[in-house]
Structure 1
């Protein structure tokens, strides 16, 4: 049933999916008090002024719904169709410089905008391996694997085997992509500040950087109004990272903060950024990693 619904929605034009997605976002926000509380709790960390926090949250509600319904479009169509939805590129020269360096590329983007579209644009030109967390729902997992694994796109699960796949790709001079603000599994991260509050943060980007010497690039797929597609924004990330895991995680988080503050309406404020992974003590109040 889920696969049929996904296929049905994938035939819709992007403008229609975004229109219905915006309505869906507001419906969820209106009907779910827990979701509203979560969005305000997370946004208030970055925007402590209540009036500004409210404006940011309200501007992001419809965007969150668009993020859900644009997935069938991006996953259910060809790479060429998905890549074509990015109608403007800013900073492609950063990729060209990294390719000339020949040590691979580590693409980083927070839960912001259409991060699914960024991989499709790049894969239309060169191979990329994308880190992903397997879904516990078997039907959704089948859709994810079938949709993300395509020509020039390999997927690597958030396991030790997946990390090895990413490192091999970098050593071949290829690109990898991940969401560094995704809460990692127990013992696969450290507590580091994110908007001044400690968040369990993956150490993988820094580990891959030090093992390969790859170029870090920040990549964003920003939604255009009225379903007119996306703008791909590329910027060079940190040129160096500390070898101390807590410090490196904080450096990555600061880079993510700068992107989020520029496009707060397209950040997923409902994402559980500050949760502790299963088995990991909740250290939100620790201060040792706050720089």
Structure 2
């Protein structure tokens, strides 16, 4: 049994007010719940407070019931939105992908080895190419082709599958389609996307080849929540690596894909561990 087993997680957000930390810790102490770890942040820019607490109920279910009884009215006075996550909760994740397999492969490996506490009930793609990989893992694969004319119908099918399989998180693991405004609104705050972050920025076809032609010195990746601003949603994690004249386009691509995979996995881990808090178009991310 690991040190983190049997720990509950309390997450909460509210407007900045005197006594926010106290109301949380006092309620936990009075109900015999032992605080193991705690992170909090007061954002002066948005005047919002975020807190994450890992705790152990010393009295089992009795401690939990007493905490809810004490904390609910107190939290209401602070306009505090809060959530309890039970120990060893496994988040149900829908993965969307096109043809590139590096991010999908990485997530499936971390899922298979237990590094990520997730279940993957389905994989959705607009191409059939990665179906054998899904079948090898015993995961249903839904090939839903898309054209400009069929986009509304395809996205409605995607939405129905996400709900049918009771998914709590959607991961766009190099899904090379721009979501409609309506679909982005549906997934706002609970869908994670990944894209390369070359400096300076290169858009369009073969960005790594464009970057090589300009002698790029940094390659990177950004994982962010989906919203209606293409590749500009609230950032969760970023990765970067220095390169130089020795790296040809194919090597830049390989390095970029490795960074994309690692950065996306970190973003998924932070999300499922309840470490990410949205404050407008920014995030508060507590380290693990």
What TM-score does the superposition give when structure 1 sets the normalisation length? 0.29
User: Which protein has the bigger strand share?
Assistant: 2
Query: Which has the higher relative contact order, 1 or 2, with Cα contacts under 8 A spaced 6 or more apart?
Result: 1
What TM-score does the superposition give when structure 2 sets the normalisation length? 0.29
Q: Which has the larger radius of gyration?
A: 2
User: Which protein has the bigger helix share?
Assistant: 1
